[in-house]
Amino acid sequence: MLIGKIVGSVVSTQKDEKLVDRKLLVVQIHDHKNAPKDQYVVAVDSVGAGAGDMVLYASGSSARQTTLTDGRPCDAVVMAIVDSWDVGGDNVYEKWNEG
Amino acid sequence: MLIGKIVGSVVSTQKDEKLVDRKLLVVQIHDHKNAPKDQYVVAVDSVGAGAGDMVLYASGSSARQTTLTDGRPCDAVVMAIVDSWDVGGDNVYEKWNEG
Amino acid sequence: MLIGKIVGSVVSTQKDEKLVDRKLLVVQIHDHKNAPKDQYVVAVDSVGAGAGDMVLYASGSSARQTTLTDGRPCDAVVMAIVDSWDVGGDNVYEKWNEG
Amino acid sequence: MLIGKIVGSVVSTQKDEKLVDRKLLVVQIHDHKNAPKDQYVVAVDSVGAGAGDMVLYASGSSARQTTLTDGRPCDAVVMAIVDSWDVGGDNVYEKWNEG
Amino acid sequence: MLIGKIVGSVVSTQKDEKLVDRKLLVVQIHDHKNAPKDQYVVAVDSVGAGAGDMVLYASGSSARQTTLTDGRPCDAVVMAIVDSWDVGGDNVYEKWNEG
């Protein structure tokens, strides 16, 4: 999995029928020190994530292992909202300290 | 999924029989700010996308989860035509404002 | 799928038994403007492609969706010989104009 | 598989139910000469790895082939703790020489 | 598949039980002109490859299509020892000319 931030969403009316009612999130990828990278992925939401949330997303066939994405043409899923993480003993991100 | 623009198509008569009658689109990848990247993928169309459309495509085994691609040697599928998306609260792309 | 050119082949006698009699092609990857990239992949041939042919290849589990590659340890397959493609309304490659 | 070092962990309470009780490790990727790269992955632990351990992780659908990750939305798993490795006849890393 | 050279091996006693007795090879990736790249992968051996051998390896779910890797948390497998390959009509590598 990689860490990312929800920065937006995509609207599509003409799409595969198996994706109807699925929320398509724009996730900007962050590195392990929480620096944003100039990379993004569009992922289906499976955990109720919203704008500004730091999340984990899974790619490939693993993205189809949630109830909302099973058997669907979806190669990325947001499967966790991140509360905090640490690297080298230091707290890098703490949800409750934000905004 | 990644965002791309349909910029062309590929013609092939000698191909795996399971790909007969499948439309092969050249998709130029765009970043989340809608800047075109110097990267492309050839994807099977599953939603009736045409030249100039902004689309989402799915890769890998997820590309085989549509009716048109199930069980076929296809590693990328256009599974949504994008109406609009936003990043950081700003509208990045709006289909109805184009051309 | 990506576009490539068949530039060579690999000979291997000591290989997984499921790959016996499979032709292993060296495919140089081209971009959508037909410029060769300094990247290659070795792919199993499923369409009778030969040296100099422009082809499409599929990667990952999708590479196992042809009769010749089903259930085999093969992560890339040449599944189409390209006749032509266009980008932005211009013909980029036309097989019958070559050589 | 790639070699990495466990440098941290991620805490998430709101996640896919199939990931409850799974330990999410921050793995910094190392090259084959044991130099740390500026790349990371978040992987589920399946072998009891802890901070500072050098490990192997597997990606993609292969990450779901352990008892702890089977059928779960997880695209990376730590499936081995590395004791040592050699390159070109030289010992690159030896667990028992560390710290 | 990509071409690589066996440059070492990894020792791990604490690993997923399904990987017991599997040989873990360090494979340095070579380009199609046989130049070594600064990239490696750790792959399970399925063909009796040893130090110095030029090999092909397969990645992803395709790495689990050999008898030795079926159903195991392994995302790369050495599935062929290379005898020779050619590019553009020139012989790039010939096993019997080495060493």
CB contact under 8 A, A79 and D71: no
> Given a contact as 3+ CB pairs under 8 Å, which chains touch D?
A, E
- A10-40 confidence digits (pLDDT tens): 999 999 999 999 999 999 999 999 999 999 9
The percentage of residues in chain A with a pLDDT greater than 90, rounded to a whole number, is 96
Residue A6 CA to residue B64 CA, distance in Å, equals 27
Domain boundaries, chain E: 2-97
In eight-state DSSP terms, residue E64 is G
Phi/psi at A38 (5° precision): -85, 50
CB contact under 8 A, B75 and C87: no
- B64-84 confidence digits (pLDDT tens): 999 999 999 999 999 999 999
Model pLDDT, residue A97: 83
Residue C72 has pLDDT above 60, yes or no: yes
- How big is chain A, counted in residues? 99
CB contact under 8 A, E61 and C61: yes
CB atoms under 10 Å from CB of E52, counted, come to: 11
Model pLDDT, residue A4: 98
Q: What is the mean pLDDT of residues C8-25?
A: 97
3-state secondary structure of D60: helix
Model pLDDT, residue D97: 83
Smallest Cβ distance to E79: which of C28, C41, C73? Answer: C73
Residue A97, chain B, CB below 8 Å: the answer is: no
CB contact under 8 A, A15 and B92: no
Tell which D residues from 7 to 26 touch E, by Cβ distance under 8 Å.
none
Q: Amino acid identity, residue E3?
A: I
Strand E76-81 relative to strand E36-45: parallel, antiparallel, unpaired?
parallel
Pair D76, D58: CB distance under 8 Å: yes
CB contact under 8 A, E41 and D2: yes
How far CA A71 is from CA of A18, C42, E90, in Å, comes to 8, 30, 46
- E15-73 confidence digits (pLDDT tens): 999 999 999 999 999 999 999 999 999 999 999 999 999 999 999 999 999 999 999 99
For E93, nearest residue in chain C (alpha carbons): C10
For chain E, the average pLDDT equals: 97
Mutation for A interface: D13, D17, D38, D42, most A CBs within 10 A:
D42
How far CA E8 is from CA of D19, D34, E76, E94, in Å, comes to 35, 13, 15, 21
Minimal C-alpha gap between E17 and chain D (Å): 9
Minimal C-alpha gap between A79 and chain D (Å): 5
Residue B31 has pLDDT above 70, yes or no: yes
CATH placement of domain B2-97: 2.40.50.220
Q: Amino acid identity, residue C58?
A: A
- Residues of chain C with Cβ-Cβ distance to B14 below 8 Å are 47-48, 80-81, 83
User: Which residues, other chains included, contact E90 with Cβ-Cβ below 8 Å and sequence gap of 6+?
Assistant: none
Strand partners, C45: C78
DSSP string, B10-76: EE-SEE-GGGTT--EEEEEEE-TTSPEEEEEEEEEESS---TT-EEEEEEGGGGG-STTTTTSS-SE
Give the sign of the dihedral formed by CA A74, CA D26, CA E72, CA A68. Answer: negative
CB contact under 8 A, A9 and B58: no
Model pLDDT, residue E99: 54
Minimal C-alpha gap between A87 and chain D (Å): 4
Model confidence at A99, pLDDT cuts 50, 70, 90, reads: low
Q: What is the pLDDT along chain D (99 residues), one digit of tens a residue?
A: 999 999 999 999 999 999 999 999 999 999 999 999 999 999 999 999 999 999 999 999 999 999 999 999 999 999 999 999 999 999 999 998 875
Tokens standing for residue E92: 């790039």
Question: For the whole model, what pTM was predicted?
Answer: 0.96
Tokens standing for residue D19: 């990931």
**By CB neighbour count within 10 A (0-12 exposed, 13-18 middle, 19+ buried), where does D11 fall?**
middle
Which stretches of chain D are DSSP H helices?
Answer: none
Tokens standing for residue E85: 């390959």
The percentage of residues in chain B with a pLDDT greater than 90, rounded to a whole number, is 96
Look up the ipTM and state it: 0.96
Model confidence at E97, pLDDT cuts 50, 70, 90, reads: confident
Model pLDDT, residue C97: 83
